[in-house]
Amino acid sequence: MSAGPARIPTKALVVLVGPSGAGKTTWAEQWFRPDQVVSSDDIRGLVGTGPHDQRAGTDAFDVLNLVVERRLKRGLLTVVDTLGLDDKQRATWLDMAAKRKRPTVAVDFDGDPKEFRARNKSRERPVPSKVVTNQLKRWGEVRPQLAGEFDSIVSPTDGVQIIPPALRDAPPARQQQKERPVNLSFGLHLPSFDWPGGSEELGANLARIGAEAEQAGFESLWVMDHMQQIPQVGRAWDPMLESYTTLGFLAAATNRIRLGTMVTGVTYRNVGLLAKTIATLDVLSGGRAWCGIGAAWFEKEHRAYGWEFPGDGARLDLLEDALQALPLLWGPGSPAFEGKTLQLPDTTCYPRPLQDPLPILVGGSGEQRTLKLVAQYANACNLFGEPEVVAHKVEVLNRHCRSVDRDPAEINVTQLSPVLVAADNGDLARRVHALQTGGATTEDVIERTTAGTADDHIGRFRLLQEAGVDSVVVSLADLSLPGSIENFASVIDTFR
């Protein structure tokens, strides 16, 4: 049984369980939108003569089951307001949820039977006392079964917090971090520049964000290397700054924070020019550059800018060549390089980077080739996904390391995801509401931004650390709102 607000995942099946008079409908109306609640009484009113038409019960549940099935199929949070005491009916709903891989939550309306009877009697049309007696008996039989049927059981007494699935297991992990703290570093990722003030204030906003990130304790600052905004983030015509010009600007606006792209597509620039660009950034920033590089993927952008977009194998061949050639361009002497797709007769590149070696991060998590390239040539990798996915990818990387006789500890594992970190539940509601545009539901925003309180994210990041992550890189979804970096600073402090 949970303490505090009932934690409900965004796409969950929520079943209210309790006898008549337990307060199920009142609670559902208080904490959920009408479109989220599927009520057997309401459906009796549709298929019968009214909500109390017991003769319409069979038809009502046929319709209710259809509605529940279609909502779960669409990934909509669904609250089933019935007694929840029928084993076969619960099993039907749970099977529907399992088929769609939706989390399941039972709301156990524990309480005093005398209060339930009193509430029932106060109704305009109370349920007969004998029926309530049978429900109370059945309720006592059902309650011990719920733990084996549902993913979680919550109490209705302390309100509701809608959470993204990524935060479901956060509370116990946060407690672990409090009792047995571990270290974790953090980076800030800037995937968009669609900020208040438009282009006229973009430079000032960027400098401010860089300074605030450094003060908050972020160890690195990353930008995407795209010429057009990618569809996962925004529209093609949204502002998108050229990455290395932006990093040069940020180098002048900051003093300590590391700077890099996450990540440069190897097809976007001649490899020699890329080496020169990053070496220049490293020198002018005082040795703070990262080289983030990957095989590229955005074909539409390539076509728009007149760049060739080879097949997957050819792009990975070019990436492997770049991973071998870049250290030569940054290292002593000027040896020639002969790769699968790249030939450099002279690797002269002065001034050399201040860092020796200049660290290379490879983006992508392909298990057969990309992670093998990480094991062979890179200092870091960037992964997506939650702890279970990350742990699997780390194990694949470790196997590749063993195959080339390399210590996996030499590779920094980073994980990138969007987050919204609020100071408390009230702040969380305000921030989610501020980002709720274009007809998006609250659940849409919460899931898209991984929205939660600082405490929630401390637990999530602890789980990622246990899965093998060394550095968490976050895109702050609410960066355009005041206080977003300040809120995240409290998370960073917990892992120092």
Residue 488 has pLDDT above 60, yes or no: yes
Beta-bridge partners for 89: none
- Tell me the C-alpha to C-alpha distance, in Å, between residue 310 and each of 316, 340, 365, 369: 10, 14, 19, 16
- Each residue's pLDDT tens digit, 275-309: 999 999 999 999 999 999 999 999 999 999 999 99
Mean pLDDT, residues 399-404 taken together: 96
Q: What is the pLDDT of residues 209-254, one digit of tens each?
A: 999 999 999 999 999 999 999 999 989 999 999 999 999 999 999 9
Residue the block writes with tokens 């047995």: 180
Q: How far apart are CA 451 and CA 457, in angstroms?
A: 9
Q: Which residues pair with 474 in a beta bridge?
A: 188, 417
- Amino acid (1-letter code) at residue 171: P
Q: Is the pLDDT of residue 2 over 60?
A: no
pLDDT at 30: 92
The secondary structure of residue 243, as a DSSP letter, is H
Write down the pLDDT at residue 135.
86
Q: What is the CA radius of gyration of the chain?
A: 27
pLDDT at 94 over 80: yes
Q: For the purposes of burial, counting CB atoms within 10 Å of the CB of 180, is it exposed (0-12), middle (13-18) or buried (19 or more)?
A: exposed
pLDDT by residue (tens digit) across 361-376? Answer: 999 999 999 999 999 9
| Residue 27 pLDDT grade (very low, low, confident, very high; cuts 50, 70, 90) | very high
Is residue 444's pLDDT more than 80?
yes
DSSP letter for each residue of 259-317: EEES-EETTSS-HHHHHHHHHHHHHHTTS-B-EEEE----HHHHHHHT-----HHHHHH
**pLDDT class of 449 with cuts at 50, 70, 90:** very high
Q: Is 170 helix (H, G, I), strand (E, B) or coil?
A: helix
What is the reported pLDDT for 132?
84
The pLDDT of residue 120? 83
Coil, helix or strand for 37? strand
Question: Residue 53: its pLDDT value, please?
Answer: 66
Which of 122-126, 173-177, 439-443 is predicted with the least confidence, judged by mean pLDDT?
122-126
pLDDT at 157: 77
- How large is the average pLDDT for residues 11-16? 96
- Identify which of 263, 236, 249 has the alpha carbon closest to the alpha carbon of residue 381: 263
Whether the predicted pLDDT of 272 surpasses 90: yes
Mean pLDDT computed over 140-148? 92
For 101-112, what is each residue's pLDDT tens digit?
Answer: 999 999 999 888
The pLDDT value given to residue 56: 67
Q: Residue 437's pLDDT band (boundaries 50, 70, 90)?
A: confident
List of domains in the chain: 6-163 (3.40.50.300), 170-494 (3.20.20.30)
Q: What pLDDT was estimated at residue 166? A: 92
pLDDT tens-digit series, residues 374-383:
999 999 999 9
Q: Residues 47-58: what's their mean pLDDT?
A: 72
Q: Is the pLDDT of residue 58 over 90?
A: no
The token pair that represents 304 in the structure block: 């728009």
Average pLDDT, the chain: 93
Residue 21 has pLDDT above 90, yes or no: no
- Tokens coding 94: 């749970």
Identify the pLDDT of residue 112: 85
pLDDT tens-place string over residues 406-418:
999 999 999 999 9
